[in-house]
Amino acid sequence: MGKLGLNQLAAMNMVYNRYSFTYFLDSLERMGVKQFELWAGAPHFCNFIQSLSDAGKLRKEVEARGLKIVCLTPEQVLYPHNIASSDKELRQFSLEYFYKYIGQTAELGVDKMLCCAGWGDYDQDREDAWKRSVESLWSMVERAKKAGITLAFEILGRFESNLVNDFASTRRMMEEIQDPCFKLCLDTVPMRTCGSSISGFFQAFPGRICHFHMTDGTPAGHVPCGTGEHPIGAYIAELERLGYDRYITLEIGDTSCCTNPHEATESGFNYVKQFL
Using a pLDDT cut of 70, give the percent of the chain over it. Answer: 100
Average pLDDT value for residue range 18-37: 98
| Interval 167-181: pLDDT, tens | 999 999 999 999 999
Q: Is 42 helix (H, G, I), strand (E, B) or coil?
A: coil
Q: Is this model's pTM higher than 0.85 or not?
A: yes
Any domain includes 55: yes
Any domain includes 260: yes
pLDDT at 78 over 90: no
Q: Look up the domain containing 38 and give its range.
A: 6-273
Average pLDDT value for residue range 41-53: 93
Any domain includes 75: yes
C-alpha torsion 137→138→143→147, nearest 10? 90
- DSSP element (H, E) containing 107: helix 88-107
| pLDDT on residue 77 | 86
The CA distance from 53 to 45, in Å, is: 6
- What CATH number should be reported for the domain holding residue 253? 3.20.20.150
Any domain includes 1: no
pLDDT at 261 over 80: yes
| pLDDT on residue 64 | 98
Number of domains in the chain: 1
| pLDDT on residue 147 | 98
| pLDDT on residue 231 | 97
Average pLDDT value for residue range 21-48: 96
Which residues fall within 8 angstroms of residue 48, CB to CB, at 6 or more apart?
A: 97
How sure is the predictor about 79, in pLDDT bands with cuts at 50, 70 and 90?
A: confident
| pLDDT on residue 150 | 98
Any domain includes 76: yes
| pLDDT on residue 1 | 60
| Interval 85-119: pLDDT, tens | 999 999 999 999 999 999 999 999 999 999 999 99
| pLDDT on residue 245 | 96
Is residue 219 reached through a cis peptide bond, with omega within 30 degrees of 0 on the bond before it?
Answer: yes
Average pLDDT value for residue range 139-162: 95
Residue ranges of E strands in the chain: 9-12, 35-40, 68-74, 112-115, 150-154, 182-187, 209-214, 216-217, 221-223, 248-250
| Interval 212-248: pLDDT, tens | 999 999 999 899 999 999 999 999 999 999 999 999 9
Any domain includes 254: yes
